Structure 1
Amino acid sequence: MHRRNFMSLAAAGTLLGFTGPAFADLPSLRFRDMYARGKDLSDLSLSLQGQRIAMTGYMAPPLKPEINFFVLTKTPMATCPFCDDAADWPNDIVLSYFAGEQAFTRFSNLIRVEGTFDTGIKTDEPTGFVSKVRLLDTRYTVL
């Protein structure tokens, strides 16, 4: 990464009110490294449980405007990849709960997120959305 790009990312994080470590100081997890064989989480993913991490991807459009989460995807998606069963959980999405009030961004914008990595099958009560992996207290910046 060029120094100028890093400085731009650091400045953008400051403008968006990021507190805590800069993205460069966080462990980074790529979608391709999240799972081992099949639907089992990789050793790397398991080791990151409960830690603040950084990921890069795209924000899928929300199910409805008043929800407090978005789905981080590996590739841009024009519709939300809603799943009703953890057995169908795709290995290229991460449920991401906002840290406080945040706005949604266009589905085609590449974003860098930071959040606390959480694993295990859980259901979001208000929406019924079933997730296998999540980022909690997520903040993002558009790259």
Structure 2
Amino acid sequence: MTKPDALRRRTLLGLLASLPAAVLVPRAFAADTEIGFDDLYGSVGVLGLNFSETVKALNGKGVTMSGFMAPPLKAEAVFFVLTEIPMSICPFCSSDSDWPDNIVVVYLDAAQTFVQPGTRIAVSGTLEVGTWTDPETGFVSRLRLRNAHYWSV
């Protein structure tokens, strides 16, 4: 390594060391588009909620969302539900509970330890739009993030 290269490397490392840890946490994949829960649906029709044009255009593409992890249905689940607001109990376990319109199902690319309710997280994955039934669990979703990973924010 030449002296100018070594100096640039030391300068860069010094700069990185001076940044707050929050800046160094990965926010999203470079190609991901950040979307929020307000971006999911565009209107309400006779058959219920209609997906927004933004969501339709992002189908099959990488997105990043932030929210809260609903308590998993079981500890070894390969998926969890991302919610807009924190929930301390499973919102889908009561027969009289309406299915929230501000959720997204997240299928992980690898096992991760679930976080405590109330912990804000960011999730990156490939957006899938449309109703789908998980053949293993029977869980029905309208929106999913596949091959996803998450981190606390």
TM-score (ref. length: structure 2) = 0.75
15, 23, 27: which one aligns with 2:33? 27
Secondary structure, aligned partner of 2:22: helix
Percent of counterpart pairs with the same letter?
39
C-alpha separation in 2, matches of 1:94 and 1:79:
17
Cα deviation, 1:42-62, whole Å, max 9, x if unaligned, reads 000000000010001000010
1:57 paired residue number: 67
Instruction: Confirm or deny that 1:142 pairs with 2:142.
Output: no
128, 132, 135: which one aligns with 1:122? 132
Instruction: Confirm or deny that 1:8 pairs with 2:22.
Output: yes
Secondary structure, aligned partner of 1:80: coil
57, 62, 83: which one aligns with 1:47? 57
Structure 2 unmatched runs, 5+: 1-18
C-alpha separation in 1, matches of 2:87 and 2:108:
19
Instruction: Confirm or deny that 1:97 pairs with 2:107.
Output: yes
